[in-house]
C-alpha cells in the first residue's frame, strides 16, 4: 500500500461496523476509500458496494480499486451511482412489486410533458402551458418525497394535481417507461415491500460505502435505511463544508446528525490537505473557519485577488496569464503547465461569454467539463434512429412510436408498433433524405434480430450516407458526428461488458443514465462550481466574484447562505498551487445596460 | 447446504415441443426406445456446458413443418437452495441472480438457441430470469436480469455424462474421455519424474541391447542418414516410452483372479468394460471435487447416466445402482432396467412417452395417497413388476391360470406376441389387487385392461377402485376396459360351463399320469367332509361369516363339475401351463374361448391392433368387425 498517514491507516484498517469519515478538501478521501475497499476484499468475505453521486466519481473509484486488487477479485466490488444501483434494483426486482419487465428510462423533459398532456386529455383537463409545468413540478415533488397519489389524496392537495399524477403514472407504466424520480421511488418500494430483497442485497454486499455523503437527500437516505435494516457495515465519507446541492434537497445534517444517531458510527476527521499550497488553504479556512483544513505542504503557492474595469478586461487578463503560465511555467509547479492543468470556475455558466471570445481569439482550446447536459443527435435522421431504438427496446412505447411517425409525417397504427416500425417505409416528410431513412429502418431490423449487432447497424447507415454524393456539406458534418457519438457510446459499453452479455435495452438505459457520456477534457476547463466538484487543477481562476453573482443574489435564508459559502470554499479548494480570484467593476447586461459592481463579500475575508 | 436443480423446462428441443421436468436428487427416466430419454439428458447437459456446438437440427419440428428463422429453443432451469435460502457461498456466487420467490429464494437460468442473422448461424445465449414464470408463459417471458451470465456460473454445475455406448477400451485411446482427462497429467513431482525417466531410458537401452532383432532393425533404419545426408540423424527405437508424459498412450488395465493369469481389459467382455468406464467416471468425479474444493468455489455436480445397466447381469445391475447412489451430486439416470427401477422411490420416477408428434413427461402422482397405498405401489408394483413401467398397454388378470393362458390366446388372436405390441399381461395374484396397478398405469399413461373374476363382491370392488383412480367414468366405458367373467364365476368355472370339459379332463389325466383320474377322485371323496369353507351365513354375535365343513356331494352333473374344479385347484401350476395349448388345438373359432375373444376384440378396437382373420376383420376406414360362432360356420 502507498504511504498513508496514521489517521488514514486507521480508517483503512477499521473494517467492521459503521463509520463516518469527515474528509476536508485534498485530504486523500478517495485514496482512503479505495484502500479501505481493497483491504476489505483482502481480509473479509462477501462483496463491497460503493455508491457515488456522479458517474465520474464512480469511474475514478472503480479504476483506483482495480489498481489495488487482483483481477479475479474485482467482480467482488460494485461501484456505481445511487441512481444506477437503484435502476438495477428496479429492473431486476421490479416484478416483485408488480412492475412490468423491460422498463426504459425517459429522460427528455419534452417527452414527459407530452405524456402529461395526454394524461390531461384523458382526464378532460385543460391546462395552460404554465399550469401544466406547475403541476409537473408538484408531481415531481411528490415523487421525490415518496408520496404516492393515495398518500397525497389523504393530505388533501389539489385534486386535479393528484388525478393527473395518478393518470401520468399509469401512462408511464403502460408505455413501460419510468422517469428519473421513479427510479428511487420504486427501488425504495422494493426494499420496503419485499424486505427479503433488501436482506439478500446486504447478504451479498456485506460492506457498503457512500461517497460525498454530505450530498445525500432525505429520499436517498430513506433508501439506504430501507436497504440496511439490521446491517451495520456502512461507511459514509463527506465534508459538510462542501455541501452545495441544497437545491436538490440535499442536507449535510443527514450525514452529520441522522446517520450518527441511527448507526452510531465510529467517527474520524481528516483535516490535512495534501492538495493545495499554504496560501490557498489559508484563504479557504478564512471562508470556512470551522473546516480547520490543515496545510501539509511547506510550499507557499499563489493566492491573488485582481479587479478589472470590466468583464472584457478580466477575460483578457486571464487569457494572457494562461499564456504566460504555459510559456514560463510556475515556480510552484514542478512540470511544465499544460492547458489541461488549468480550470476557470464561475458561479454560473453565463459568466464565460467574454472569456470564450478571448480564448478563441488566442486559439487556446477549452471545454466545458463535467457537463450534465444530455447529448442529443443533431440531424433529424439520427433523431429518428434514436427514437426508434426506444421502441425497439420497448415495443409498448406509444410515445416514441408516435414521435417517429410525426418525424416521418405519417399516421399511427393502433397496435403492433414494432412491426410497423420495422416494415413501414412510408416517408412523407420532404426534408428527410429517403435513402438514409431507409438505411435507418434496415438498421432497426438488424438490431431487432440481434441487439448486440449495434456496429453492424451503424455501418448500415454510414455505408448509405457515404454512397450518396450530393449531400450538403453541413448535413454531412452533422450526421458524421451523430454516428461517431453512438459509436463512441457503444464502444464504451463494449469495454464494460463481455460478448454474449450485451443487450440493447440495458445499453439504452445506461445511455439515459449518462454512463457513456464522452468527456471532452481537452484544453482549459470552464466549470461551474457544481461541475468542478471532486476535481483538482494546478491552476484555478475564479472569475466574476461580485456581490449578487457570487454570493448569488438568491441566497437569502441562513442555510442558503451557508451553502453559498460552501460553494466558494469548493471553488478555491479545487486549486493545488495557484489560485486567482478576479472580478470586474462594471458589467454589461444582456439588454445593454451598464451596471456598477461591488466586489464579493468573500473577498473581504481574504484580503 | 447446497443447491439442487429442481426443474427443467424444455421448449422446442429435439423431440420435445414443450415439457416440464421436475427433478429430484436422483431422478430415473423411464420410457420406451426412441421417446427422448437421451434428448432430455442432452438438454440438461446443454444448460450447463459453457460452449457447445449447436445446429438447427436441434430444433423441434412438427411433421411437414418448415423451419423458420424465428423459431428458437428455450431451456430453463430452476436452481433451488436446500432450505429457504442459499448458503453464503452460493449466495455470493449467484449474486444478483438470486430471486426472492414466494416461499424461498431461487436462481433461474435460460439457455437460448436462436438464429443470428449477423453470423448466419445458430448461436447459444444465456440469461438469468428475474422470475420463474407459469409454464404457459415461458415462451413469452423476457424479464431477464440485466447482468450477463458468466461462464463461472455455468461451470459451478459441472456435468458428467456417462454415455450408453461407453467402453473403457475406446476411452483409453481418447484424450478427451474421462480416462484421458484423468491420466493426462499424473502429477509426479519433478524429482520423481527425473528419476523415473532415467529408469525408463535404462530399460529401453537394456531391451535393445539384449535383443538382436531390435538391434538389427535399428541399424537398418539408421541407413536413413545416408539418404538425408546428415551425420547427425539417428534413428532410435523405444520399446517403451521414454517420457512419462507419453505414458498415457500405452496404459493398460488388467484383470486377474486367484486362479488365473491376468487378462487385459480389451479381452474382457463388454459388461466389465462398461462397468470399468463407470468406475473411471466415479474416480474422475471424486478427483474433480477435490480440485474444486481446493479452489474454494461452490460446485454442484450434475451426473447424467445413460443406461447404467448396459451389458450387466441382474446382480451387477443392483450393485451399480448402489454405487451410483454413493456418488456426490445430483443424478439423472435413464434406464430400461426393471431391476434398477425397482430400487428407486416412486417420486423419483419420470416417465417419458410419445404423445402425438412431441415427447411428453409424466410422474406417478402420489398426491392424496396414504402411506399404505404408496407402500403397496412400491411393494406390489415397482419392486416385483418393474417391467410394466416400460409397457404401452397393460392387461391385468386375476390368477395364475389367466396369466399363463392369456398370452397364448393373445398370440393366436392378434398374430403377434404381446411384447411386439408393447403389451404386458400380468396376474395380480388375487382378487381385487388391481388398484395399485391402476394408479401406476393412470399416472404413466399406460392403457389398462382388466380381465377379472365375476363374483359380485369383486365386480363392485373393482368398479369402485376404477372410479377412484380414473374419476367418475360411465359403466359403458368401464365395460370397454374391464371384462368380468360371467355368472359370478372364475375362469375355471367358465371353462367348465362353456364346453371345455374334455380339454380339462385331458389335462388332469396327463398331469396325474392316469386315465380317468376324475372318476377315481369322485369315488374316493364323495360323501367325505371337506375343509371348512366360508359361507354367506353371518354369526349374529361377532358379525363374521361362518365357516362350515360341508359334506362333499359329487352326484349328478353339478357334482361332477365341482369335483373337476377341485381337482384343477390341486394341480393349478401344471394345469395352467397346458390348458391353453390344448384348447388352441381346436380347429374352429372356439379355440379361443368366447369371453376372451370378446375381451381381445375390445382391446383391438381401442388400440387399433391387427386381428387374425379367423376372428374378425378390419374394414376400410378402420371399422372392426367381430366374427361370432355363427358367421364362422357360414363362411
Per-residue pLDDT tens digits for A206-245: 999 999 999 898 889 999 999 999 999 999 999 988 888 8
pLDDT category of residue A496 using cuts at 50, 70 and 90: confident
**Residue B110 DSSP symbol:** E
Question: Mean of the pLDDT values across residues A94-114?
Answer: 86
pLDDT category of residue B225 using cuts at 50, 70 and 90: low
**Which is it for strands A19-23 and B254-255: parallel, antiparallel or unpaired?**
unpaired
C-alpha dihedral sign at B29, B31, B37, B38: positive
For B147, name the nearest residue in chain A, comparing CA atoms only. Answer: A501
Give B212's contacts (C-beta < 8 A, 6+ positions apart): none
* CATH of the domain spanning B3-158+299-353: 3.40.50.300
Question: Mean of the pLDDT values across residues B477-490?
Answer: 91
Most confident of the ranges A365-369, B70-74, B532-536:
B70-74
CB atoms B117 and A450 under 8 Å:
yes
Looking at residue B277, its pLDDT comes to 87
Length of chain B: 635
Q: How many Å apart are CA B397 and CA B381, to the nearest integer?
A: 14
SS3 for B3?
strand
Write down the ipTM of this complex. 0.73
Looking at residue B90, its pLDDT comes to 92
Element (H, E) at A604: helix A601-606
Q: Which of A77, A82, A72, A75 is nearest to A35 (CA)?
A: A77
Q: For the CA atoms of A72, A74, A75, A81, what is the dihedral angle to 10 degrees?
A: -170
Count Cβ atoms within 10 A of the Cβ of residue B56 and give its class: 0-12 exposed, 13-18 middle, 19 or more buried. middle
Looking at residue B633, its pLDDT comes to 40
Chain region(s) in chain B for CATH 3.40.50.300: 3-158+299-353
Least confident of B8-12, B256-260, B544-548: B256-260
Question: Mean of the pLDDT values across residues B306-319?
Answer: 87
CB atoms A96 and B100 under 8 Å:
yes
Three cell numbers written together for B303? 451426473
CB atoms A92 and B130 under 8 Å:
yes
Q: How many Å apart are CA A297 and CA B475, to the nearest integer?
A: 103
Residue that has been written with the C-alpha cell 369371453 in this structure: B595
Q: How far apart are the first and last CA of chain B?
A: 76
Q: How many Å apart are CA B157 and CA B155, to the nearest integer?
A: 5
Q: How many Å apart are CA B38 and CA B40, to the nearest integer?
A: 5
Architecture of domain B364-492+594-626 in this structure = 3-Layer(aba) Sandwich (3.40)
In contact, B146 and A506? CB cutoff 8 Å: yes
**Residue B15 DSSP symbol:** T
Question: Mean of the pLDDT values across residues A121-141?
Answer: 86
For A501, name the nearest residue in chain B, comparing CA atoms only. Answer: B148
Per-residue pLDDT tens digits for B344-382: 888 899 989 888 889 988 888 777 777 877 887 787 777
CB atoms A102 and B143 under 8 Å:
yes
CA distance B119 to chain A (A): 10
In contact, A488 and A520? CB cutoff 8 Å: no
Give A132's contacts (C-beta < 8 A, 6+ positions apart): A113, A116, A117, A120
**Which is it for strands B3-13 and B16-22: parallel, antiparallel or unpaired?**
antiparallel
CB atoms B91 and A196 under 8 Å:
no
In contact, B610 and B415? CB cutoff 8 Å: yes
Q: Which of A197, A204, A503 sits opposite B95 (nearest CB)?
A: A204
Q: How many Å apart are CA A434 and CA A301, to the nearest integer?
A: 61
CA distance A599 to chain B (A): 53
Indicate if the pLDDT at residue A372 is higher than 50.
no
Q: Which of B131, B145, B148 sits opposite A500 (nearest CB)?
A: B148
SS3 for B439?
helix
Looking at residue A370, its pLDDT comes to 53
The full DSSP string for A95-135 is GGGTPPSS-EEE--HHHHHHHHHHHHHHTT----HHHHHHH
Q: Which of B30, B10, B308 is nearest to B160 (CA)?
A: B308
Per-residue pLDDT tens digits for A42-74: 999 889 999 998 888 888 899 999 999 998 888
CA angle B254, B255, B261 (to 5 degrees): 95
Residue that has been written with the C-alpha cell 459388461 in this structure: B271
Q: Which of A92, A194, A196 sits opposite B146 (nearest CB)?
A: A92
For residue A498, list chain B residues with Cβ-Cβ distance below 8 A: 148, 150
Per-residue pLDDT tens digits for A401-437: 888 888 888 888 878 888 898 988 888 887 888 889 9
How many Cβ atoms are within 10 Å of A204's Cβ, its own excluded?
20
For A99, name the nearest residue in chain B, comparing CA atoms only. Answer: B143
pLDDT category of residue B555 using cuts at 50, 70 and 90: confident
Per-residue pLDDT tens digits for B416-439: 999 888 899 988 877 768 888 898
Per-residue pLDDT tens digits for B120-166: 889 898 999 999 999 999 999 989 998 888 888 998 999 999 888 88
Residue that has been written with the C-alpha cell 397519489 in this structure: A149
Establish, for the pair of chains A and B, how many residue pairs have beta carbons separated by less than 8 Å. 71
pTM score over 0.90: no
For A498, name the nearest residue in chain B, comparing CA atoms only. Answer: B148
CB atoms B96 and A88 under 8 Å:
yes
How many Cβ atoms are within 10 Å of A465's Cβ, its own excluded?
19
CB atoms B91 and A456 under 8 Å:
no
In contact, B494 and B557? CB cutoff 8 Å: no
For residue B85, list chain A residues with Cβ-Cβ distance below 8 A: 200
CA angle B513, B516, B521 (to 5 degrees): 95
For A452, name the nearest residue in chain B, comparing CA atoms only. Answer: B118
Q: Which of B391, B394, B377, B376 is nearest to B338 (CA)?
A: B391
Residue that has been written with the C-alpha cell 415491500 in this structure: A193
- pLDDT above 70 covers what percent of chain B? 97
Q: How many Å apart are CA A290 and CA A296, to the nearest integer?
A: 18
Give B345's contacts (C-beta < 8 A, 6+ positions apart): B24, B378
CA angle B603, B609, B614 (to 5 degrees): 90
CB atoms B150 and A498 under 8 Å:
yes
Give B455's contacts (C-beta < 8 A, 6+ positions apart): B431, B488, B489, B490
**Residue B316 DSSP symbol:** H
Looking at residue B394, its pLDDT comes to 92
Most confident of the ranges B96-105, B177-186, B567-576:
B96-105
For residue B138, list chain A residues with Cβ-Cβ distance below 8 A: none
Give B235's contacts (C-beta < 8 A, 6+ positions apart): B218, B221, B222, B224, B225
Q: Which of B94, B104, B117 to mutate to test the interface with A (most CBs of A within 10 A)?
A: B117
Length of chain A: 607
Indicate if the pLDDT at residue A376 is higher than 80.
no
Amino acid at each position: 500500500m502507498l504511504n498513508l498517514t496514521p489517521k488514514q491507516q486507521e480508517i483503512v484498517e477499521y473494517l467492521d461496523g459503521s463509520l463516518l469519515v469527515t474528509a476536508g478538501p485534498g485530504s486523500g478521501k478517495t485514496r482512503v476509500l479505495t484502500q479501505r475497499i481493497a483491504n476489505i476484499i483482502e481480509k473479509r468475505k462477501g462483496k463491497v458496494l460503493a455508491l457515488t453521486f456522479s458517474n465520474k466519481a464512480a469511474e475514478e473509484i472503480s479504476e483506483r480499486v482495480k489498481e489495488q486488487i487482483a483481477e479475479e477479485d474485482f467482480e467482488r466490488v460494485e461501484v456505481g451511482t445511487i441512481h444506477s444501483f437503484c435502476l438495477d434494483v428496479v429492473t431486476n426486482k421490479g416484478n416483485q412489486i408488480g412492475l412490468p419487465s423491460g422498463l426504459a428510462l425517459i429522460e427528455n423533459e419534452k417527452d414527459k410533458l407530452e405524456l402529461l398532456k395526454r394524461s390531461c386529455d384523458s382526464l378532460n383537463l385543460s391546462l395552460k402551458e404554465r399550469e401544466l409545468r406547475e403541476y409537473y413540478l408538484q408531481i415531481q415533488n411528490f415523487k421525490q418525497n415518496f408520496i404516492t397519489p393515495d398518500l397525497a389524496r389523504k393530505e388533501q392537495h389539489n385534486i386535479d394535481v393528484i388525478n393527473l399524477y395518478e393518470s401520468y403514472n399509469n401512462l408511464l407504466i403502460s408505455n413501460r417507461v419510468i422517469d428519473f424520480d421513479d427510479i428511487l421511488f420504486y427501488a425504495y418500494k422494493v426494499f420496503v415491500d419485499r424486505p427479503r430483497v433488501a436482506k439478500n442485497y446486504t447478504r451479498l454486499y456485506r460492506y457498503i460505502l457512500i461517497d460525498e455523503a454530505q450530498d445525500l437527500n432525505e429520499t436517498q437516505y430513506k433508501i439506504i435505511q430501507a436497504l440496511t435494516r439490521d446491517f451495520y457495515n456502512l461507511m459514509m465519507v463527506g465534508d459538510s463544508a462542501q455541501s452545495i446541492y441544497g437545491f436538490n434537497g440535499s442536507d449535510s445534517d443527514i450525514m452529520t446528525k441522522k446517520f450518527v444517531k441511527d448507526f452510531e458510527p465510529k467517527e474520524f476527521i481528516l483535516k490535512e490537505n495534501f492538495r493545495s499550497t499554504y496560501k490557498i488553504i489559508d484563504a479557504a479556512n478564512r471562508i470556512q473557519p470551522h473546516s480547520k483544513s490543515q496545510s501539509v505542504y511547506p510550499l507557499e503557492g499563489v493566492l491573488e485577488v485582481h479587479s478589472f474595469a470590466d468583464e472584457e478586461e478580466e477575460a483578457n487578463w486571464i487569457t494572457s496569464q494562461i499564456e504566460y503560465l504555459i510559456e514560463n511555467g510556475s515556480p510552484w509547479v514542478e512540470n511544465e503547465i499544460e492547458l489541461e492543468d488549468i480550470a476557470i470556475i464561475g458561479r454560473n455558466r453565463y459568466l464565460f461569454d467574454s472569456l470564450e471570445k478571448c480564448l478563441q481569439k488566442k486559439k487556446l482550446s477549452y471545454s466545458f467539463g463535467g457537463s450534465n447536459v444530455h447529448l442529443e443527435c443533431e440531424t433529424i435522421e439520427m433523431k429518428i434512429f434514436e427514437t426508434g431504438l426506444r421502441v425497439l427496446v420497448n415495443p409498448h412505447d406509444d410515445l416514441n412510436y408516435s414521435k417517429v411517425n410525426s418525424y416521418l409525417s405519417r399516421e399511427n397504427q393502433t397496435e403492433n408498433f414494432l412491426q410497423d416500425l420495422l416494415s413501414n417505409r412510408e416517408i412523407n416528410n420532404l426534408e428527410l433524405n429517403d435513402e438514409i431513412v431507409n438505411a435507418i429502418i434496415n438498421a432497426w431490423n438488424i438490431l431487432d434480430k440481434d441487439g448486440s449487432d449495434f456496429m453492424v447497424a451503424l455501418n448500415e447507415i454510414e455505408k448509405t450516407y457515404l454512397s450518396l454524393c450530393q449531400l450538403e456539406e453541413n448535413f454531412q458534418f452533422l450526421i458524421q458526428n451523430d454516428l461517431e457519438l453512438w459509436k463512441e457510446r457503444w464502444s464504451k459499453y463494449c469495454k464494460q461488458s463481455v460478448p454474449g452479455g450485451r443487450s440493447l435495452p440495458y445499453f439504452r438505459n445506461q445511455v439515459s443514465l449518462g454512463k457513456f457520456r464522452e468527456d471532452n477534457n481537452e484544453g482549459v476547463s470552464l466549470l461551474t462550481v457544481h461541475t468542478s466538484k471532486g476535481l483538482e487543477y494546478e491552476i484555478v481562476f475564479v472569475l466574476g466574484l461580485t456581490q449578487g453573482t457570487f454570493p448569488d443574489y438568491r441566497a437569502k435564508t441562513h442555510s442558503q447562505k451557508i451553502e453559498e459559502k460552501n460553494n466558494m470554499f469548493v471553488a478555491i479548494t479545487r486549486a493545488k498551487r495557484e489560485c486567482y480570484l478576479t472580478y470586474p467593476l462594471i458589467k454589461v447586461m444582456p439588454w445593454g445596460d451598464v451596471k456598477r459592481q461591488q466586489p464579493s463579500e468573500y473577498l473581504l475575508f481574504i484580503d | 447446504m447446497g443447491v439442487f436443480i429442481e426443474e427443467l423446462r424444455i421448449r422446442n428441443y429435439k423431440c420435445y415441443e414443450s415439457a416440464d421436468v421436475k427433478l429430484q436428487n436422483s431422478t430415473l427416466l423411464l420410457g420406451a426406445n426412441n421417446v427422448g430419454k437421451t434428448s432430455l439428458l442432452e438438454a440438461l447437459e446443454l444448460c450447463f456446458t459453457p460452449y457447445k456446438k449447436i445446429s438447427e437440427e436441434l430444433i423441434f419440428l412438427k411433421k411437414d413443418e418448415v423451419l423458420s428463422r424465428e423459431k428458437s429453443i428455450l431451456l430453463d432451469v430452476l436452481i433451488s437452495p436446500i432450505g429457504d435460502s442459499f448458503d453464503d457461498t452460493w449466495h455470493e456466487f449467484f449474486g444478483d441472480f438470486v430471486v426472492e420467490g414466494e416461499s424461498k429464494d431461487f436462481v433461474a437460468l435460460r439457455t437460448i438457441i436462436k438464429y443470428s442473422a449477423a453470423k448466419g448461424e445458430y448461436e447459444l445465449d444465456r440469461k438469468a430470469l428475474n422470475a420463474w414464470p407459469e409454464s404457459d408463459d415461458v415462451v413469452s417471458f423476457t424479464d431477464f436480469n440485466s447482468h450477463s451470465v458468466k461462464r463461472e456460473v455455468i461451470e459451478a454445475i459441472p456435468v458428467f455424462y456417462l454415455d450408453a455406448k461407453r467402453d473403457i477400451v475406446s476411452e483409453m485411446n481418447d484424450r478427451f474421455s474421462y480416462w484421458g482427462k484423468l491420466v493426462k497429467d499424473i502429477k509426479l513431482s519433478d524429482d520423481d519424474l527425473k528419476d523415473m525417466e532415467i529408469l525408463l531410458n535404462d530399460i529401453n537401452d537394456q531391451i535393445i541391447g539384449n535383443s538382436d532383432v531390435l538391434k538389427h532393425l535399428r541399424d537398418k533404419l539408421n541407413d536413413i542418414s545416408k539418404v538425408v545426408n546428415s551425420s547427425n540423424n539417428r534413428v532410435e527405437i523405444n520399446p517403451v516410452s521414454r517420457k512419462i508424459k507419453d505414458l498415457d498412450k500405452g496404459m493398460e488395465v488388467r484383470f486377474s483372479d486367484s486362479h488365473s493369469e491376468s487378462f487385459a481389459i480389451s479381452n474382457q467382455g463388454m459388461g466389465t468394460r462398461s462397468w470399468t468406464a463407470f468406475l473411471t467416471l466415479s474416480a474422475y468425479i471424486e478427483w474433480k471435487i477435490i480440485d474444486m474444493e481446493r479452489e474454494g468455489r461452490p460446485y454442484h455436480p450434475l451426473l447424467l447416466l445413460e443406461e447404467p445397466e448396459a451389458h450387466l447381469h441382474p446382480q451387477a445391475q443392483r450393485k451399480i445402482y448402489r454405487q451410483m447412489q454413493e456418488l456426490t451430486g445430483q443424478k439423472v439416470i435413464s434406464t430400461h432396467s426393471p431391476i434398477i427401477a425397482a430400487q428407486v422411490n416412486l417420486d423419483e420416477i419420470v416417465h417419458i412417452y410419445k404423445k402425438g408428434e412431441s415427447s411428453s413427461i409424466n410422474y406417478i402422482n402420489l398426491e392424496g395417497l396414504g402411506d399404505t397405498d404408496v407402500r403397496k405401489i412400491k411393494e406390489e408394483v415397482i419392486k416385483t413388476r418393474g417391467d410394466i413401467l416400460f409397457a404401452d398397454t397393460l392387461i391385468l388378470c386375476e390368477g395364475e391360470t389367466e396369466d399363463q393362458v392369456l398370452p397364448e390366446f393373445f398370440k393366436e388372436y392378434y398374430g403377434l406376441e404381446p411384447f411386439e405390441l408393447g403389451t404386458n399381461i400380468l396376474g395380480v395374484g388375487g382378487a381385487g389387487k388391481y388398484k395399485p396397478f391402476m394408479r401406476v398405469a393412470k399416472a404413466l399413461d399406460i392403457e389398462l385392461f382388466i380381465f377379472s373374476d365375476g363374483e359380485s363382491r369383486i365386480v363392485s370392488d373393482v368398479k369402485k377402485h376404477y372410479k377412484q383412480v380414473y374419476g367418475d367414468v360411465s359403466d359403458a366405458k368401464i365395460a370397454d376396459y374391464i371384462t368380468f367373467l360371467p355368472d359370478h364365476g372364475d375362469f375355471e368355472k367358465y371353462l367348465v360351463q362353456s364346453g371345455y370339459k374334455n380339454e380339462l379332463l385331458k389335462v388332469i389325466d396327463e398331469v396325474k399320469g392316469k386315465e380317468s383320474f376324475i372318476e377315481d377322485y369322485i369315488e374316493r371323496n364323495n360323501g367325505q367332509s371337506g375343509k371348512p369353507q366360508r359361507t354367506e351365513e353371518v354369526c349374529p354375535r361377532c358379525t363374521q361369516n361362518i365357516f362350515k365343513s360341508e359334506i362333499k356331494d359329487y352326484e349328478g352333473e353339478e357334482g361332477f363339475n365341482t369335483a373337476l374344479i377341485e381337482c384343477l385347484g390341486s394341480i393349478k401350476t401344471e394345469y395352467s401351463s397346458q390348458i391353453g395349448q390344448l384348447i388352441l388345438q381346436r380347429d374352429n373359432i372356439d379355440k379361443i374361448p368366447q369371453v376372451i375373444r370378446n375381451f381381445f376384440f375390445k382391446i383391438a378396437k381401442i388400440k387399433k391392433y391387427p386381428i387374425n382373420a379367423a376372428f374378425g376383420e378390419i374394414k376400410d376406414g378402420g371399422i372392426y368387425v367381430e366374427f361370432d360362432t355363427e358367421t364362422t360356420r357360414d363362411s
